[in-house]
């Protein structure tokens, strides 16, 4: 059976075709009682991908961005597919620098690091070219060690949600004098975020999981 499948796969690949099927992890993310073909199913998954800001969180983040000093940069750690980056961009001054940092180590669609990076870079292309957005394709740690700009007007933290990582993110933001320190996922399912924020004086405000120290 395996040999037959391998032979069919090889013949199909000669003509540019691939044998595809949804994985058991992908099926529960699709609507029930409707059968979608493979292409439609994957596009449905991409358009409804999880792991991004809620609308309430996005509104709060926009308010914070609008209130920050436009002369100084904004730093975002964890952009995923660029949704929060776009939210920040819509609220910031067009010339205000925005550093968006991601090492592309995780995504909610289960795509490769390369596909994730290329798709996010493409999605943010216009922002990078016209809105003073700088996409840093590396880890938060690497970014912190190279940072040599002004004290951030706003630091938005939404990358590794472990207690240690969030503690380190907040410590760096404080050490460089960030005026507004905020992030996503202050929620019971992210105990690392909650503990790190609480240890740093607690959330002054939380809207739709977005916290601000």
Pick the closer one to ligand SAM by CB: 65 or 160. 160
Does residue 75 touch ligand SAM according to CB under 6 A? no
169 binding ligand SAM? (CB under 6 A): no
Question: 């690091």: which residue's tokens?
Answer: 113
In whole angstroms, what is the distance from residue 195 CA to residue 147 CA? 26
> Which 97-126 residues touch ligand SAM, going by CB under 6 A?
101-107
Residues numbered 130-159 forming contacts with ligand SAM, rule: CB under 6 A: 139-140, 158-159
Spatial distance between the Cα atoms of 106 and 101, rounded to a whole number of angstroms: 13
Closest CB to ligand SAM among residues 5, 174: 174
> Cα(161)–Cα(49) distance, rounded to whole angstroms?
18
Q: Is 213 in the site for ligand SAM (CB under 6 A)?
A: no
Q: Name residues contacting ligand SAM, limited to 26-65 (CB under 6 A).
A: 51-53
SS3 content of the chain, % helix, strand, coil (to 5): 45, 10, 45
**Helices marked H in the chain — which ranges?**
2-14, 38-47, 55-67, 83-91, 113-123, 125-130, 140-146, 163-175, 191-199
Residue 85 or 132: which CB sits closer to ligand SAM? 85
Site string for ligand SAM, 80-99 (x = CB under 6 A): x--xx---------------
Is 183 among the residues that bind ligand SAM (CB under 6 A)? no
Selected from 78, 132, 153, 211, the binder of ligand SAM by CB under 6 A is 78
Rounded to whole angstroms, the Cα distance separating 122 from 45 reads 18
């Amino acid at each position: 059976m395996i040999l037959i499948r391998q032979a069919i796969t090889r013949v199909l690949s000669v003509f540019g075709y691939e044998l595809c099927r949804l994985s058991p992890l992908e099926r529960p993310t699709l609507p029930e009682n409707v059968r979608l073909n493979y292409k439609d199913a994957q596009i449905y998954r991409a358009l409804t991908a999880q792991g991004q800001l809620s609308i309430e969180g996005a509104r709060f983040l926009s308010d914070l961005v609008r209130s920050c000093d436009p002369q100084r940069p904004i730093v975002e750690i964890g952009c995923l597919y660029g949704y929060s980056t776009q939210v920040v961009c819509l609220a910031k001054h067009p010339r205000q620098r925005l550093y968006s940092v991601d090492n592309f180590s995780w995504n909610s669609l289960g795509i490769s690091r390369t596909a994730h990076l290329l798709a996010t870079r493409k999605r943010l292309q216009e922002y990078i070219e016209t809105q003073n957005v700088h996409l840093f394709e590396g880890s938060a740690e690497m970014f912190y060690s190279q940072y040599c700009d002004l004290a951030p007007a706003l630091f938005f933290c939404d990358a590794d949600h472990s207690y240690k990582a969030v503690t380190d993110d907040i410590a760096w933001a404080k050490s460089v004098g960030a005026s507004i320190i905020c992030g996503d996922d202050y929620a019971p399912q992210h105990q690392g975020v909650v503990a790190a924020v609480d240890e740093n004086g607690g959330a002054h405000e939380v809207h739709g999981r977005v916290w601000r120290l």
